[in-house]
């Protein structure tokens, strides 16, 4: 059973629904890109990746995403809520950063 909890009153006062936050997402792979798309529904998002090839593929909507998420990507591009870059300096103006980079799993 899933239960939705309300934020405490003091948190609600700090982040009013009309406030638009800017968020950075570092790493636009299979976790980072869907995260960036979801966040861009209510925030300005700076998506950072080191791969120019990956950024170009995302910009052309040529990525492996379910149909609904691909439509979401198109929508956030149309709204201007998602900026793609390989320049980490653009993260200086965001309110928070989420890091979604690969974590190697091996014997060590």
Question: Would residue 47 count as lying in a domain?
Answer: yes
The dihedral built from the CA positions of residue 41, 43, 48 and 52, taken in this order, carries a sign that is positive
Is the residue at 37 inside a domain? yes
Quick one: pLDDT at residue 105? 78
Distance between CA atoms of residues 37 and 1, nearest Å: 27
- For the chain, how many structural domains are there in total? 1
Q: What is the pLDDT of residues 61-108, one digit of tens each?
A: 999 999 989 999 999 999 999 999 999 999 999 999 999 988 777 776
Using the predicted structure, report yes or no on whether residue 53 has a pLDDT greater than 80: yes
Average the pLDDT over 7-24 and give the result.
Answer: 59
Q: Is residue 84 situated within a structural domain?
A: yes
Return the C-alpha torsion angle 89, 91, 92, 95, nearest 10: 180
Answer yes or no: is 107 within a domain: no
Domain that holds residue 51: 20-99
**Position 48 confidence tier, pLDDT thresholds 50, 70, 90:** very high
80: CATH: 3.40.50.720
Give me the phi and psi of 8, to 5 degrees please.
Answer: -60, 155
**Strand 44-48 and strand 82-85: pairing?**
parallel
């Amino acid at each position: 059973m899933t239960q939705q909890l309300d934020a405490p009153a003091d948190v609600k006062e700090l982040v009013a629904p009309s406030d638009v936050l800017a968020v950075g997402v570092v790493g636009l792979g299979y976790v980072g890109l869907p995260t960036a798309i979801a966040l861009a529904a209510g925030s300005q998002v700076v998506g950072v990746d080191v791969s120019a090839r990956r950024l170009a593929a995302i910009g052309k909507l040529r990525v492996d995403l379910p149909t609904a998420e691909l439509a979401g990507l198109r929508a956030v591009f149309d709204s201007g809520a998602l900026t793609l870059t390989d320049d980490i300096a653009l993260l200086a103006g965001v309110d928070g950063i989420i890091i979604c980079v690969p974590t190697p799993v091996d014997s060590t």
